[in-house]
């Protein structure tokens, strides 16, 4: 308590006094010692105007409390709070600390921390200042810190009427006015007494509001700070913009202080002295009247016992308040429980009365039925005894025969085991070596082999159809003539091509493309640096080398870039397609220049003749398209400024690759002066041209063009790009399938096939990264849809409604170009929608063609200034981002909570089998819970379009060869990032579960059985009498039990499977996850439907058995009663026996179909005549979800809880199944009941909403919160 002896006396005693708050390096420090709610924030802001640095971590404003900011450094505030806590005080404690309480050794660590903090803060400028009201009561601590540093501070002491400060505290904190006045007195006495003799200035809060400029000048004069001119921007902003009478919520005069009776005499005297000090021009470094000051101190000392008592009462009141709140909650809970109990008691009494009445009625019926049943029972008992005796005799005979078979089986098994052991011992060493040599080659060839197999099957089918056609037979004489005169045939083929090209308006483009390709091929043969020279093979993981081609091409004034790297990429992305050939055709028809890593690209200029030729080629390509609709799906906006060759090339590429969506193109010409001026609305198909009379700049040019858009979606496309196959579908599919996505961007690829960007990262300072730059575009982590901070405006898609709602690019904040796309992404996210990058939308981007790469010149300079404006706008959001370069692997997907590794045998094919559908839907469910999902097909690590692409399009990372060789390689490289593992099927667990447990210790493993394989195998063995399969089922059972023991949670599809596993592995966590399906909406009724449908993949053995049994035992019974009935069998990989059923003219064997829904909508009913299997049957669920009634067997309905005749028809014998099928074919009312019942059943048990809840329950069982 500073009764006597201010800063001057204390510092003199220590020998460290220096004038004007300066240290030995000439640095100065100013402390603002203030009472809470005394206008200190405004006065501290005034120091900022006078050039004082206030710290690098200022507290943000708080609406309703301090709208214009606190101007307090967070580091200082946190240190003061730590200091108060260690001293056993709070900021609103009334009792002062004992003298020397903060100077003891127990605070030495905090003093060292404070010294380092002050040194760091002072390094930012010549004068550093800070404000925190706690400093006024903690100044003895800071005095020691500054003295140890050799610094004597200067002070600013804000002055405000104590009643105004107390009223503000009452409004903000609920304090009594008396406490507020006492707090004011304590803070001001501490501030005045401890700073006596120092350079200090008292500032009246009211005076600042009245004349802020005069008070600025007074503070500058006393503190020896430079005063900016009154007309300067800083002074004007402070005086006219920052200072406002609206900030003062309480206006109380001096007389009210006396009249209120809330202030002791010494408080009034203290306030009067402070006001007087605030009117001096010298700062009042010394107390004017020592005697008066002594009286003030004595008055304050007299109140200390009372203040101590008030502090204690305040603490007790808070404790009692919390206790009362707890008691009130308990009373409310007990009252609610009592009311609920009374209500239940009343309901129970009513139910008891009803039950008693029902019991009496039931007793009467029971007595009447009992006599009849007793008679029937006696008769049944007599018949049963006779039947039992007959069965016993039959069983004895069968047991005797079975024992003989068993003995023979044991002898055969012993002999077989001995032979197998001998053969295995001899072949084991050789087999292991062969497997090691072939395994890697096999994985490498599986991708190509699968596509070749599919292509070969299609080609054989086409060849067979062609050879059996009438055309082939009629053309036999022509073929014989061709064998005798091959030249004539070649001429005929060429003539037919010319006729076709002429009819389809392609002749000119084809001739030009062939001419250009011949020219470029001639260059290649003439020069080792030819445009299409072969590039060295690229190894997995290496960046693709930049092209070094420099030869001029085909009479152009520039050297065309080498298209071969991108051609090789297209061949790798889409094996079996001709995309790479079409790419080469495009680059030959529209050759463009590009210099990798150049700061400025050379311009692409055409002569007038070349320009006319290019326009003609482009128009011919567009001529293949139909006319644009009045309201197309998409409006593609291409902003251009000169660079006609690039503009024509990108439009030709849009024409070249077909899309499922209709589109129009708007060329937004921003005042070009090259041949771009020739273009008009009639030049190119589906293209409208808007010529701006003057250059608007990129942002305004795009906004102007978008105002003319007619499509539901807007796609912005730079003209220095070439789109690749699937580019437009990738963008629009993403928007159509995901209403929560507001902006989607493409994967940008350099002309040398390296990645330029796959989504962007924005760092804490507002700087940005092109994520994936320079990497292999096939990298799995760069190839799946994911959320990102922003996408480059070179290719982005948004809904037109969202674009218009946001007003497009913000041309008011940003100039010309750069950061407009980043700002748009942040505004879309602020509006509640996601921003994603869709790597399946690919295009080649000639970076630097439009603007160069030098940020010091041209349009590129706006990248710097716009970046500063972006950071200022989004500073609060960016505060949660990491500093530049820290953990980009986490920043690239900042919305991800956890990461899941999913393992299945092969890549799922949801369009081909139900098991794949559940795998895919479960991965989507984890995504909805905030998990990033990575999938690996453990059997072959194959990249298999379109299945792999379907996963990537849905935002699932697909892991494949050659980036990962096998499971151990994958876990070594990526294992640490996964938080859990979901593994499907025992075939996967027996190979990898031990490795997973070793490599990922402590990580939860969820084992999904798909179905109990051993149960299915055992039933098949019993049905077929196959002893070998029976032995295999026993080994499978052991493997499944082992997998359950080693997993944290096992997932099954039925309660029956759960009971089996709980019995086999007591204590295991087994969860029933029935299925995932969404019931259909509007459906066709029974009238237009006809026929019976079976759907199932024939890689699953029970399906083939089911179809053959139905065709052999049930179908004849149906045909006898309904000869016009038809059966359609749908599913891939049908065996020959199933294919042969197609010889019946009433049975259609279709194989795999790309879209199943039309067949389900046309069919009258679906069948699932399964005789063995396990788990929930996906084909049954899918049909019920489509509103299609199902006839199945008890095995087909197993574990689902279906009620026959309500949800489906369940029949076991051929006759019962035939009856059920015929009734559904003929009875419309029954069909309607079963259709509705199946839909309701799916809604109750299998909807996606329920599935998401179940995933949360599974995670909880695994200990994941």
What is the per-residue pLDDT across 619-629, written as a single tens digit (0 to 9) for each? 999 998 888 78
Q: Which of 480-489, 531-540, 728-737, 1246-1255 has the highest mean pLDDT?
A: 728-737
Looking at residue 1107, its pLDDT comes to 94
From CA 754, how far away is CA 748, in angstroms rounded?
9
Helix (H) or strand (E) holding 1167: strand 1165-1168
Looking at residue 597, its pLDDT comes to 63
Query: Is the pLDDT score of 472 beyond 70?
Result: no
Query: Is the pLDDT score of 869 beyond 70?
Result: yes
Phi and psi of 1209, rounded to 5°?
Answer: -105, 130
Is the pLDDT higher at 1020 or at 732? 732
CA of 172: how far to CAs of 36, 37, 412, in Å? 11, 9, 92
Beta bridge partners of 487: none
From CA 18, how far away is CA 23, in angstroms rounded?
7
The answer to whether residues 879 and 902 belong to one domain is no
Q: What mean pLDDT do residues 995-1022 have?
A: 89
Q: What mean pLDDT do residues 251-264 have?
A: 79
Looking at residue 529, its pLDDT comes to 31
Over pLDDT 70: what percentage of the chain? 82
Query: Is the pLDDT score of 528 beyond 70?
Result: no
Residue 422 pLDDT level (bands cut at 50, 70, 90) = low
Q: Which CATH number goes with the domain that contains 694? A: 3.90.550.10
Nearest to 746 by CA among 769, 727, 720, 768: 727
Phi and psi of 887, rounded to 5°?
Answer: 50, 60
Q: What mean pLDDT do residues 666-694 have?
A: 95
The answer to whether residues 415 and 437 belong to one domain is yes
Instruction: Please give the full DSSP string across 304-318, using - where no structure is assigned.
Output: HHHHHHHHHHHHHHH
Looking at residue 498, its pLDDT comes to 66
Looking at residue 1198, its pLDDT comes to 84
Q: What mean pLDDT do residues 358-368 have?
A: 78
Nearest to 1129 by CA among 1137, 1141, 1116: 1141
Looking at residue 318, its pLDDT comes to 67
Q: How many residues does the chain have?
A: 1265
Q: Is residue 1033 part of a domain?
A: yes
Residue recorded with tokens 């037109």: 800
| Count of domains observed in the chain | 5
The answer to whether residues 412 and 455 belong to one domain is yes
pLDDT digits (tens, 9 = 90+) for 1195-1240: 888 878 889 999 899 999 999 999 999 999 999 999 999 999 998 8
Q: Which CATH number goes with the domain that contains 1221? A: 3.40.50.2000
The answer to whether residues 856 and 735 belong to one domain is yes
The answer to whether residues 207 and 323 belong to one domain is no
Which distant-in-sequence residues (6+ apart) come within 8 Å of 485 by Cβ? none
Q: What mean pLDDT do residues 82-104 have?
A: 82
Sign for the CA dihedral angle at 1138, 1142, 1146, 1151 comes to positive
Least confident of 240-254, 500-514, 516-530: 516-530
Query: Is the pLDDT score of 542 beyond 50?
Result: no
Supply the DSSP symbol for 247.
G
Residue where a domain terminates, one of 1043, 1072, 1101: 1072
From CA 526, how far away is CA 549, in angstroms rounded?
13
The answer to whether residues 311 and 444 belong to one domain is yes
pLDDT digits (tens, 9 = 90+) for 183-216: 898 888 888 888 888 899 999 888 888 889 988 9
Looking at residue 256, its pLDDT comes to 83
Is the pLDDT higher at 1055 or at 903? 903
Residue 415 pLDDT level (bands cut at 50, 70, 90) = low
Looking at residue 420, its pLDDT comes to 60
Q: What mean pLDDT do residues 51-67 have?
A: 85
Q: Is residue 356 part of a domain?
A: yes
Q: Which CATH number goes with the domain that contains 151? A: 3.40.50
Residue recorded with tokens 């000169």: 642
**Residue 1140 burial by Cβ neighbours in a 10 Å radius (0-12, 13-18, 19+):** middle
The answer to whether residues 100 and 163 belong to one domain is yes
The answer to whether residues 647 and 767 belong to one domain is yes
Q: Is residue 276 part of a domain?
A: yes
Average pLDDT for the chain: 82
Q: Is residue 176 part of a domain?
A: yes
Residue 594 pLDDT level (bands cut at 50, 70, 90) = confident
Which distant-in-sequence residues (6+ apart) come within 8 Å of 444 by Cβ? 961, 962
Residue where a domain terminates, one of 1019, 1038, 1072: 1072
Residue recorded with tokens 């059966």: 1127
How large is the C-alpha radius of gyration of the chain?
42
The answer to whether residues 313 and 270 belong to one domain is no
Helix (H) or strand (E) holding 127: strand 127-131
The answer to whether residues 1064 and 1135 belong to one domain is no
From CA 1032, how far away is CA 1021, in angstroms rounded?
9
The answer to whether residues 877 and 744 belong to one domain is yes
Residue where a domain terminates, one of 1019, 1039, 1072: 1072
Q: Is residue 515 part of a domain?
A: no
Beta bridge partners of 216: none
pTM of the model: 0.56
Supply the DSSP symbol for 57.
S
**Residue 438 burial by Cβ neighbours in a 10 Å radius (0-12, 13-18, 19+):** exposed
Query: Is the pLDDT score of 462 beyond 60?
Result: no
The answer to whether residues 865 and 997 belong to one domain is no
From CA 773, how far away is CA 542, in angstroms rounded?
13
Nearest to 795 by CA among 723, 726, 734: 723
Over pLDDT 90: what percentage of the chain? 41
Helices marked H in 635-683: 644-656
From CA 1016, how far away is CA 1036, in angstroms rounded?
10
Q: What mean pLDDT do residues 484-499 have?
A: 59
From CA 47, how far away is CA 203, in angstroms rounded?
12
Q: Is residue 1 part of a domain?
A: no
Full 3-state SS string of 1207-1233: CEEECCCHHHHHHHHHHHHHCHHHHHH
Residue pair 818/825 in contact (Cβ under 8 Å)? The answer is no
Instruction: Please give the full DSSP string across 1021-1046, using - where no structure is assigned.
Output: HHHHT-HHHHHHHHHHHHHHHHHHHH
Query: Is the pLDDT score of 446 beyond 70?
Result: no
From CA 641, how far away is CA 671, in angstroms rounded?
7
Helices marked H in 226-289: 233-236, 254-260, 265-277
Q: Is residue 583 part of a domain?
A: no
Residue 904 pLDDT level (bands cut at 50, 70, 90) = very high
From CA 1137, how far away is CA 1108, in angstroms rounded?
8
Q: Is residue 15 part of a domain?
A: no
Supply the DSSP symbol for 796.
E
Looking at residue 434, its pLDDT comes to 44
Query: Is the pLDDT score of 508 beyond 90?
Result: no
CA of 371: how far to CAs of 368, 376, 384, 727, 1221, in Å? 6, 9, 20, 80, 40
CA angle 519, 520, 521 (to 5 degrees): 90
Show the domain range for 992.
898-1072
Least confident of 146-160, 262-276, 571-585: 262-276
């Amino acid at each position: 308590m500073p009764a006597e002896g201010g800063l001057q006396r204390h510092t003199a005693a220590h020998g460290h006094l220096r004038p004007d708050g300066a240290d030995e390096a000439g640095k100065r420090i100013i402390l603002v010692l203030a009472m809470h709610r005394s206008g200190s924030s405004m006065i501290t802001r005034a120091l900022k105007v006078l050039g004082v640095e206030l710290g690098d971590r200022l507290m943000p404003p708080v609406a309703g409390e301090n709208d214009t900011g606190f101007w307090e450094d967070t580091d200082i505030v946190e240190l003061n709070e730590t200091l108060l806590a260690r001293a056993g005080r709070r900021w609103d404690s009334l009792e002062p600390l004992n003298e020397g309480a903060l100077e003891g050794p127990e605070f030495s660590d905090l003093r060292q921390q404070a010294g380092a903090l002050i040194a760091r803060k002072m390094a930012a400028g010549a004068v550093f200042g800070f404000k925190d009201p706690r400093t006024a009561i903690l100044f003895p601590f800071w005095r020691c810190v500054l003295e140890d540093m050799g610094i004597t501070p200067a002070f600013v002491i804000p002055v405000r009427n104590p009643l105004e400060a107390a009223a503000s505290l009452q409004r903000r904190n609920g304090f009594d006015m008396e406490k507020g006045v006492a707090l004011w007195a304590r803070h001001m006495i501490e501030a005045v007494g401890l700073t006596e003799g120092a350079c200090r200035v008292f500032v009246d809060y009211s005076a600042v509001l009245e004349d802020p400029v005069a008070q600025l000048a007074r503070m500058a004069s006393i503190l020896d700070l430079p005063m900016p001119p009154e007309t300067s921007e800083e002074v004007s902003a402070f005086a006219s913009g920052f200072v406002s009478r609206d900030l003062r919520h309480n206006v109380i005069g001096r007389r009210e202080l006396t009249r209120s009776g809330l202030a002791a005499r010494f408080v009034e005297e203290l306030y009067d002295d402070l006001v007087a000090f605030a009117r001096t021009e010298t700062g009042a470094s010394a107390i004017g009247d020592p005697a008066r000051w002594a009286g003030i101190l004595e008055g304050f000392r007299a109140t200390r016992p009372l203040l101590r008592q008030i502090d204690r009462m305040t603490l007790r009141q808070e404790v009692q308040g919390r206790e009362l709140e707890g008691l009130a909650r308990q009373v409310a809970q007990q009252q609610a429980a009592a009311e609920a109990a009374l209500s239940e008691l009343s309901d129970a009494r009513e139910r008891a009365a009803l039950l008693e009445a029902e019991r009496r009625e039931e007793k009467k019926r029971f007595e009447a039925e009992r006599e009849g049943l007793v008679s029937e029972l006696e008769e049944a008992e007599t018949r049963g005894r006779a039947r039992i005796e007959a069965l016993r005799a039959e069983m004895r005979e069968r047991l005797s025969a079975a024992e003989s078979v068993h003995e023979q089986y044991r002898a055969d098994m012993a002999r077989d085991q001995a032979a197998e052991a001998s053969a295995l011992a001899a072949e084991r060493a050789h087999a292991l070596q062969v497997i090691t040599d072939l395994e890697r080659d096999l994985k490498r060839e599986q991708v190509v082999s699968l596509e070749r197999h599919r292509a070969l099957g299609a080609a054989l089918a086409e060849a067979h159809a062609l050879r059996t056609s009438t055309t082939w037979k009629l053309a036999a004489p022509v073929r014989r003539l061709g064998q005798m005169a091959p030249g004539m045939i070649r001429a005929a083929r060429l003539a037919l091509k010319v006729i076709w090209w002429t009819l389809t308006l392609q002749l000119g483009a084809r001739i030009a493309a062939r001419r250009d390709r011949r020219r470029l091929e001639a260059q290649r043969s003439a020069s080792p640096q030819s445009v299409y020279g072969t590039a060295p093979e690229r190894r997995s993981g290496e960046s693709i080398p930049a092209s070094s081609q420099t030869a001029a091409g085909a009479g152009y004034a520039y050297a065309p870039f080498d298209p071969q790297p991108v051609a090789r990429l297209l061949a790798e992305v889409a094996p079996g397609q001709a995309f790479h050939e079409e790419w080469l055709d495009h680059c030959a028809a529209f050759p463009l220049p590009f210099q990798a890593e150049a700061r400025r690209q050379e311009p692409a200029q055409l002569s007038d003749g070349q320009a006319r030729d290019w326009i003609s080629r482009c128009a011919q390509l567009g001529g293949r398209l139909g006319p644009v609709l009045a309201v197309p799906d998409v409006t593609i906006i291409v902003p251009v400024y000169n660079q006609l060759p690039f503009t024509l090339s990108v439009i030709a590429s849009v024409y070249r690759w077909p899309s499922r969506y209709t589109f129009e193109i708007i060329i937004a010409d921003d005042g070009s002066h090259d041949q771009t001026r020739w273009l008009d609305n009639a030049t190119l198909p589906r293209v409208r041209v808007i010529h701006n009379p003057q250059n608007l700049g990129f942002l305004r040019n795009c906004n102007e063009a978008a105002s003319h858009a007619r499509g539901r979606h807007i796609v912005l496309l730079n003209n220095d790009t070439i789109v690749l196959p699937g580019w437009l579908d990738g963008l629009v599919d993403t928007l159509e399938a995901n209403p929560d996505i507001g902006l989607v961007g493409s994967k940008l690829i350099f002309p040398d096939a390296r990645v330029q960007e796959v989504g962007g990262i924005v760092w804490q300072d507002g700087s940005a990264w092109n994520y994936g730059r320079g990497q292999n575009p096939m990298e799995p982590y760069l190839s799946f849809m994911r959320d990102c901070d922003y996408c480059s405006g070179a290719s982005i898609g948004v809904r037109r409604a969202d674009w218009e709602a946001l007003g497009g690019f913000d041309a008011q904040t940003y100039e010309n170009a750069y950061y407009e796309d980043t700002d748009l992404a942040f505004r879309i996210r602020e509006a509640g929608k996601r921003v994603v990058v869709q790597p399946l939308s690919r295009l080649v981007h000639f970076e630097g063609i439009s603007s160069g790469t030098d940020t010091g010149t041209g349009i590129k300079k706006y990248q710097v200034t716009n970046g500063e404006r972006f950071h200022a706008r989004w500073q609060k959001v960016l505060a949660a981002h990491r500093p530049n370069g820290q953990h980009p692997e986490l920043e690239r997907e900042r919305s991800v909570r956890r990461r899941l590794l999913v393992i299945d045998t092969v890549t799922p094919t949801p369009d081909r089998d139900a098991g794949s559908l559940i795998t895919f839907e479960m991965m989507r469910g984890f995504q909805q819970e905030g998990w990033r999902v990575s999938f690996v097909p453990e059997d072959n690590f194959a990249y298999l379009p379109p299945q792999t692409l379907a996963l990537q399009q849905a935002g699932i990372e697909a892991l494949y060869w050659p980036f990962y060789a096998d499971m151990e390689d994958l876990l070594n490289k990526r294992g640490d990032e996964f938080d859990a593992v979901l593994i499907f099927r025992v075939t996967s667990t027996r190979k990898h579960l031990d490795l997973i447990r070793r490599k990922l210790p402590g990580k939860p493993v969820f084992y999904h059985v798909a179905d109990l394989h051993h149960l299915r195998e055992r039933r098949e063995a019993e049905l077929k009498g196959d002893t070998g399969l029976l032995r295999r089922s026993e080994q499978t059972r052991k493997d499944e039990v082992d997998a359950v023991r080693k997993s944290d949670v096992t997932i099954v599809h039925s309660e029956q499977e759960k009971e089996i596993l709980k019995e086999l592995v007591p204590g295991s966590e087994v969860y029933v996850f029935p299925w995932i399906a969404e019931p259909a909406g509007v459906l066709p009724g029974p009238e237009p439907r006809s026929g019976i449908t079976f759907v199932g993949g024939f890689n699953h053995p029970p399906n083939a058995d089911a179809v053959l049994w139905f065709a052999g035992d049930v179908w004849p019974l149906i045909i006898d009663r309904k000869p016009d009935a038809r059966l359609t069998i749908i599913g891939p990989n049908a065996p020959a026996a199933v294919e042969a059923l197609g010889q019946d003219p009433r049975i259609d064997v279709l194989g795999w179909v790309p879209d199943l829904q039309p067949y389900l909508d046309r069919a009258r009913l679906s069948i699932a005549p399964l005789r063995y299997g396990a788990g929930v049957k996906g084909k049954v669920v899918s049909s019920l979800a489509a509103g299609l009634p199902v006839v199945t067997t008890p095995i087909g309905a197993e574990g689902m809880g279906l009620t026959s005749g309500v949800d489906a028809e369940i029949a076991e014998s051929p006759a019962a199944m035939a009856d059920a099928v015929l009734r559904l074919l003929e009875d419309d009312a029954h069909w309607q009941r079963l259709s509705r019942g199946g839909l309701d059943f799916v809604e109750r048990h299998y909807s996606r909403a329920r599935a998401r809840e179940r995933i949360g329950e599974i995670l909880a069982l695994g200990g994941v919160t």
